Amino acid sequence: MSDQKISRVLQVGIVLLGIAAGTFGMSLLIPKGGFNDILATKKPESNISQASLDGTASAQAVAPATKQIMEVPKLFQGKTIYEAKLKPNEKVIALTFDDGPSPKNTAQILEILKKNNIKATFFMVGGMVQLNPQVAKKVVGDGHVLGNHTWHHGYRRMDAAKAASEINSTADIIYKTTGVKTTLFRPPGGFLKNGLVDYAISQKYAIMMWSTESGDSQGRGQAPTLVKNVIQRSKPGAIVLMHDGGGNRSRTVKALPQIITGLKSQGYRFVTIPELLEIEAKAETLATKASPAVKKAQNPNNQPKNP
């Protein structure tokens, strides 16, 4: 074989190796949670400046003028919550959306919510906020609540430093982008034992799970199935899980108006997570205050009961 042919073969081999390496590298960027969106390749800093979490933005990024603190009653901070404990006649429900913000899906969902005068709670992935800052700002501008959903949406076990990085980095980018500090955290995939929740609890986050889900992340069933899943499984105090990111959410967009209509027909009104938990907290406070009066009415002379 001539030197020219050998050179040509080597060049082709190098190109093929480059393509293979590139393909492998791209696969590492797509989280196991099913994301089709490729998150930012920059790894979050493990030593995020505490100043931004305390309310002071770094010199490199200026936070919006309007700052908001989105938190739940102290009763729920550091707790894991699946739903609000309400009376059967208190027909309130909270819609939540995970894995955004996404330019197309989130924008469509925001429009539907606006038409129905509904406020929801969005659990955002830090890498997606970095990619789509204007969408994140739009969510807040429309009056919705934000929660922390980690930077990479990973499921695997991680040490304390990595868990802190995932949560703090996301808190940092949310604050710098929207001016919001949130005490709401939702673990990706609902995994409670991989290190993330332990760190979040230590920081007094409310761990927000869900009691009802549409099934839109499972890739099975069309919009009518998603509607049926939510309508049939909802009850007063329910927290509904849906997704505005992490893939093609056209089924969610199509199902959402029907979900809203179906729940409204059952007498439900829609609230954010903080509003939902505030309702439960007030109910518990009233019950506590009323209990001495109830006991006195049952035993007005404070006589000891028969054994």
Question: Residue 41's pLDDT is what?
Answer: 43
Q: For residue 34, what are its two tokens?
A: 């099913």
Count of domains in the chain? 1
Whether 43 and 255 have beta carbons less than 8 Å apart is answered as no
- Token pair 């992935």 is found at 125
Encode 5-28: b = buried (16+ Cβ within 10 Å), e = exposed: eeeeeeeeeeeeeeeeeeeeeeee
Whether 243 and 217 have beta carbons less than 8 Å apart is answered as yes
Q: Is 243 a catalytic residue?
A: yes
Q: Is 75 a domain residue?
A: no
Q: Is 27 a domain residue?
A: no
Q: Is 158 a domain residue?
A: yes
Question: Residue 288's pLDDT is what?
Answer: 73
Given the residues 144, 149, 243, 244, the one annotated as active site: 243
pLDDT tens sequence across 58-101: 333 344 545 677 889 999 999 999 999 999 999 999 999 999 99
- pTM for this entry: 0.76
Q: Is 98 a catalytic residue?
A: yes
Q: Is 63 a domain residue?
A: no
- The whole domain housing 109 covers 91-287
Given the residues 98, 99, 172, 244, the one annotated as active site: 98
pLDDT tens sequence across 109-119: 999 999 999 99
Q: Is 143 a domain residue?
A: yes
- Residue 223, helix vs strand vs coil: helix
**How big is the chain, counted in residues?**
307
Complete DSSP assignment for 82-104: SS----TT--EEEEEEES---HH
Cα of 267 vs its chain's centroid, Å: 26
Q: Is 238 a domain residue?
A: yes
Q: Is 32 a domain residue?
A: no
CATH number, domain with residue 98? 3.20.20.370
DSSP state of 167: H
Q: Is 72 a domain residue?
A: no
Mean pLDDT, range 248-277, rounded to an integer: 98
